[in-house]
Amino acid sequence: MSDHYKEAGHVLRLRHPAALLLTVAVAAADTGAAIAQEAERDPNNGTDPTRLTTTAAVAYEYNDIKPNSSRHAPRLDLTMPFGEKQDYSIRLRVPVVSNDVTGDGDFGIGDVSLTGTHVFGLTRKRGLVVQGELILDSASRDELGTGRNVLKGTFIYARFLPQGIFAPALVHSVDIGGDDRRADVSVTTFDFYYVPKISSPRTFMTIDPALNFDWEKDAQFSSLAVTAGMAVGKAFGGQAQVYVKPTVMFGSERPGDWSIEVGFKVLGF
């Protein structure tokens, strides 16, 4: 074989790995760009657990508590994403609670919580989310909180489907101290969160059935929450939306019959 062909073959052998690496890099870049373009086309309305965004919310929740009691809980939420990929976030939640179980219906500070979130393993088909929430024993009166410091861990597997998002979650809450006179906390929840795709980009809905197991009380019950909301325009440098979220509970060991939450949010400011 001539030196010319030997040299050409040597060059081809050297170039082949480089060409392969270049092809893989271009394909990966195209995939990432496609995912980013799809995200830009779809407005971030806060229903996709893998898309973190700056959020401020004012909400009001009413709970029908067994037997013959009620709980009112307006609250403030602030969520701030961070990190190079904006795949981390931290949320502060401050509730103001009224609970007439003792006959005192005055409002007071409830249990303040701090939640950290991390999104990882994001592809076209799925995304993974882990959360850690610390709920502090900060209530101004005993009946306005659990009396315990509670740590809640959550793992979410989000699957992106042609007609929506299915994001089941495993959640476990356990107390890590607080008032020894109050009941311990150990609750596991299997959550089956679903976001149907709606033709109008201004409206959104979530369907959220769950199975709940309270190990300390040896009680089990199920629940179904449905959220419906819509964007109402620009506000405070972001996108404003309003929503309503009714919840019903099932089972003889349920802690209440129903609840409803209404709220106003500003996202992406």
pLDDT in tens, the chain (269 residues): 544 444 444 443 444 544 444 444 444 444 444 444 444 457 899 999 999 999 999 999 999 987 778 899 999 999 999 999 999 999 999 999 998 877 788 999 999 999 999 999 999 999 999 999 999 999 999 999 999 999 999 999 999 999 999 999 999 999 999 999 999 999 999 999 999 999 999 999 999 999 999 999 999 999 999 999 999 999 999 999 999 999 999 999 999 999 999 999 999 99
Q: What is the CATH number of domain 44-267?
A: 2.40.160.40
Assess contact for 249 and 257: CB atoms under 8 A: yes
C-alpha–C-alpha distance, residues 265 and 72, integer Å: 19
Q: How many Cα atoms are found within 13 Å in the side-chain-facing hemisphere of 111?
A: 20
Tokens of 164: 């929506």
C-alpha–C-alpha distance, residues 183 and 197, integer Å: 41
Sort strands 203-214 and 219-235 into parallel, antiparallel or unpaired.
antiparallel
C-alpha–C-alpha distance, residues 73 and 267, integer Å: 22
With helix as H, strand as E and coil as C, how does 43-101 read? CCCCCCCCCCCCEEEEEEEEEEECCCEEEEEEEEEEEEEECCCCCEEEEEEEEEEEEHH
Domain ranges of the chain: 1-41, 44-267
Assess contact for 158 and 125: CB atoms under 8 A: no
Sort strands 113-120 and 88-99 into parallel, antiparallel or unpaired.
antiparallel
Sign of the C-alpha dihedral, residues 264, 255, 169, 186?
positive
* pTM for the full predicted model: 0.82
Assess contact for 175 and 184: CB atoms under 8 A: yes
Please state the length of the chain. 269
Q: How far is CA 148 from CA 66, 109, 135, 162, in A?
A: 21, 15, 8, 43
Rounded to the nearest angstrom, the gap between the alpha carbon of residue 11 and the centroid of all alpha carbons in its chain is 53
